[in-house]
C-alpha cells in the first residue's frame, strides 16, 4: 500500500511534486512494484544496471536538475517544481513545444497519422447522429464519482454508502415528458444494452443530456448491469482514447422493485460494531 513504500509522485492537475515516505513496514511478503521488477529481472538473468537502482536511487535520478534536492524534499515532503510562476500564461515566454517554437495551425505530423492537419470541429459519432437521436434522444455522459476511484473502492461499504445507488440525472424538461419524478426507477437503454437506475431530476443536466456516475460494479447493481452496457467499444480518431462520453440512450420508467439489488452471495456482510 502507499504508506508502506517510498515513492515520488509527480503533479496531476496541479504544480507540486510529493515524496511519499513509508509510514509502516509492509506485512508478510508484500512488495512494492519496483522491488518485484528488480526480483523478476534477477530471476531472468537481466543484468542491466537500472534493475539495481533502489527506490531512493530512482527518486534522486528523477530530481536531477530540479530546483530541490532529494534531502530537501525529504524534509519538506512536497515542493512546487513545474517552474511555471503563479498566474503566468503557458508558452508566453520560450515558445511552444514544437521544432520551431511556434504554435502550429497546420501540423504535418497529424497529416502523417491520417488526421486532418488543420484545426476544426469533428462531430461525435453518436451524439451528433440525427438518425440515432430520433431513436435515442438523450446523450449520456458518465463522469467520475467523488467517492470512488475508478472501480477500486466500489466494493467497500464506506464508499458505496456515500456514493449512493446508481442514478441518472435528467433536466426537468426531459423528466416531465417521460412522466418521471425524482427517485423513480428507470431503465436506461440503447441498441447495445441497458441498466437500471433511479432518476435524479437535476437542473445541472442540460436539456437533451443525461449523466450518471461510472465505476459501479455490475454484481452490486440492480439488474447486474451498469453504464458499461450502453457504452460503445470504439477509439477516438486521435490518440486512440476511449469514447466513453459519446453515447445516445432513452430512459423509460420501470417498477420500483427492480432497483433492489441482491447482495452478492459470496460476500460477507459488513460487521456491526458492538456498543
Is-contact 237 163, C-beta < 8 A?
Answer: no
pLDDT at 125: 92
pLDDT at 87: 63
pTM: 0.69
pLDDT at 202: 94
Strands 7-9 and 78-80 turn out to be unpaired
Is-contact 164 222, C-beta < 8 A?
Answer: no
Blockwise average pLDDT, block size 10, the chain, 275 residues: 91 84 94 95 94 94 88 91 64 83 88 87 92 97 90 88 94 98 97 97 96 92 94 85 91 92 52 38
pLDDT at 88: 62
Amino acid at each position: 500500500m502507499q504508506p508502506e513504500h517510498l515513492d515520488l509522485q509527480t503533479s496531476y492537475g496541479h504544480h507540486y511534486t510529493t515524496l511519499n515516505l513509508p509510514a509502516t513496514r509492509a506485512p508478510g511478503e508484500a512488495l512494492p512494484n519496483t522491488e518485484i521488477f528488480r526480483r523478476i529481472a534477477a530471476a531472468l538473468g537481466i543484468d542491466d544496471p537500472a534493475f539495481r537502482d533502489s527506490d531512493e536511487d530512482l527518486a534522486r535520478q528523477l530530481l536531477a536538475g530540479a530546483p530541490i534536492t532529494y534531502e530537501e524534499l525529504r524534509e519538506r515532503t512536497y515542493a512546487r517544481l513545474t517552474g511555471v510562476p503563479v498566474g503566468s500564461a503557458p508558452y508566453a515566454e520560450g515558445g511552444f513545444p514544437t521544432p520551431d517554437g511556434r504554435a502550429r495551425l497546420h501540423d504535418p505530423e497529424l497529416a502523417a497519422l491520417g488526421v486532418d492537419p488543420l484545426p476544426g470541429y469533428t462531430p461525435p459519432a453518436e451524439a451528433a447522429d440525427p438518425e440515432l437521436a430520433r431513436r435515442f434522444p438523450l446523450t449520456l455522459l458518465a463522469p467520475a464519482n467523488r467517492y470512488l476511484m475508478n472501480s477500486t473502492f466500489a466494493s467497500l461499504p464506506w464508499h458505496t454508502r456515500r456514493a449512493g445507488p446508481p442514478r441518472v440525472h435528467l433536466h426537468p424538461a426531459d423528466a416531465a415528458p417521460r412522466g418521471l419524478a425524482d427517485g423513480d426507477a428507470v431503465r436506461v437503454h440503447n441498441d447495445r444494452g441497458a441498466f437500471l437506475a433511479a432518476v435524479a431530476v437535476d437542473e445541472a443536466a442540460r436539456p437533451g443530456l443525461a449523466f450518471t456516475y461510472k465505476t459501479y460494479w455490475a454484481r452490486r447493481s440492480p439488474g447486474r448491469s451498469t453504464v458499461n452496457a450502453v457504452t460503445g467499444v470504439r477509439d477516438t480518431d486521435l490518440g486512440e482514447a476511449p469514447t466513453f462520453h459519446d453515447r445516445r440512450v432513452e430512459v423509460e420508467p420501470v417498477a420500483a422493485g427492480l432497483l433492489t439489488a441482491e447482495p452478492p452471495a459470496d460476500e460477507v456482510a459488513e460487521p456491526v460494531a458492538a456498543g
